[in-house]
Amino acid sequence: ELTHDELIEEEVLEKCGQYLNDDKFLSSFEFTEDETKRISGFSFYTLKPIIIALNLSEEQFRPNVFPRKEELNQLIKDNNMVSINICGKMEMEISQLETEERQVFLEDLGLKESGIERLCRVSYEHLGLITFFTVVKDEVRAWTIKKDTHAVKAAGKVHSDIERGFIRAEIARYQDLVTLGSMHTVKEKGLLKIEGKDAIIEDGDIINFRFNV
C-alpha cells in the first residue's frame, strides 16, 4: 500500500504523463513549489532549459527569414524556450578579423556582438546564471553562480573556508571600474560597498571577501 507521500507523487507523475501525451514540454507546466520538489529527482528531459541555436545561411540571416519560422516561434513561445540566430559562415569570418575590423563588420550587420557572444549571454540569462570576479594581485578570476545568490554562498564558490569564516564582502561594480579606470578611484568616489552575508550578488560584481578561520 502506498504511503501518503507516494500517493501525492503518483498524482503529480500522472499529471506529467497527461501533459507529455499532449505533446507538450514540462517546462511550460505550472508546477507548485511542492510538486517541483517531488519531481526534481526524475530529471525529466523536457524540464531542462532549452536553447535553440539556428544556423542560418547568409541569405536567411540578414532578413531573418527561413522556412517554418512561425511554426518554430510558436513552439518556442509555448514551451518556455529561447532561440538565437547565427550564421556559421559569418562567424568563421568574424573570428579571423582584428578587433577594430571585427567591430566594423558587426556594425554593418546591425549587430553589437558576434553570434558566439550572443549565445553565451542568452544561455546565461536563460539558465539564471551570473558572473562575479575576484582579484588577487595580478590574477583575475571569473566565477559563475546562480542569480540572487547571497554573498556568503558566493564566497563558498571561491573556497569553503571563506564561506565558513565570512566577515564581509567589499564590492565594486564592474561598470564603475570601467568608467573610473582604477579601483583606487572607485574607493575615492565612495563606490566600494561593504556588504554582509545576506547581500545579493549582481552580475559583474568585483568582490574582495574578508574572512577569518
Residue 123's SS3 state is helix
Residue with cell 514540462: 26
Tell me, yes or no, whether 46 lies in a domain. no
Average pLDDT, the chain: 93
Q: Do 82 and 52 contact (CB within 8 A), yes or no? A: yes
Beta strand segments in the chain, E: 51-55, 82-86, 129-136, 139-146, 166-172, 193-195, 206-211
- pLDDT of amino acid 125: 95
Tell me, yes or no, whether 42 lies in a domain. no
β pairing state of 206-211 and 166-172: antiparallel
Tell me, yes or no, whether 64 lies in a domain. yes
> Do 106 and 157 share a domain, yes or no?
no
132-153 pLDDT per residue, tens: 999 988 899 999 999 999 999 9
Query: Which residue, of 105, 126, 147, is where some domain finishes?
Result: 126
- pLDDT of amino acid 137: 83
What distance lies between CA 86 and its chain's CA centroid?
19
CATH number at residue 176: 3.10.20.30
How many Å apart are CA 119 and CA 53, to the nearest integer?
Answer: 8
CATH number at residue 57: 3.40.50.300
161-201 pLDDT per residue, tens: 999 999 999 999 999 999 999 999 999 999 999 999 999 99
Query: Which residue, of 126, 156, 181, is where some domain finishes?
Result: 126
Domain limits for position 8 = 4-36
27-48 pLDDT per residue, tens: 989 999 899 988 988 889 999 9
Q: 68 pLDDT band (50/70/90 cuts)?
A: very high
Q: Domain total for the chain?
A: 3
Residue among 73, 79, 77 at smallest CA distance from 24: 79
- pLDDT of amino acid 104: 93
Tell me, yes or no, whether 21 lies in a domain. yes
How many Å apart are CA 84 and CA 64, to the nearest integer?
Answer: 11
CA atoms within 13 A on the CB side of 142: 7
% of the chain residues with pLDDT over 90: 81
Query: Which residue, of 126, 154, 172, is where some domain finishes?
Result: 126
- Helix orientation angle between 99-108 and 88-95, rounded to the nearest 10 degrees: 150
- pLDDT of amino acid 69: 95
Q: 62 pLDDT band (50/70/90 cuts)?
A: confident
What is this structure's pTM? 0.79
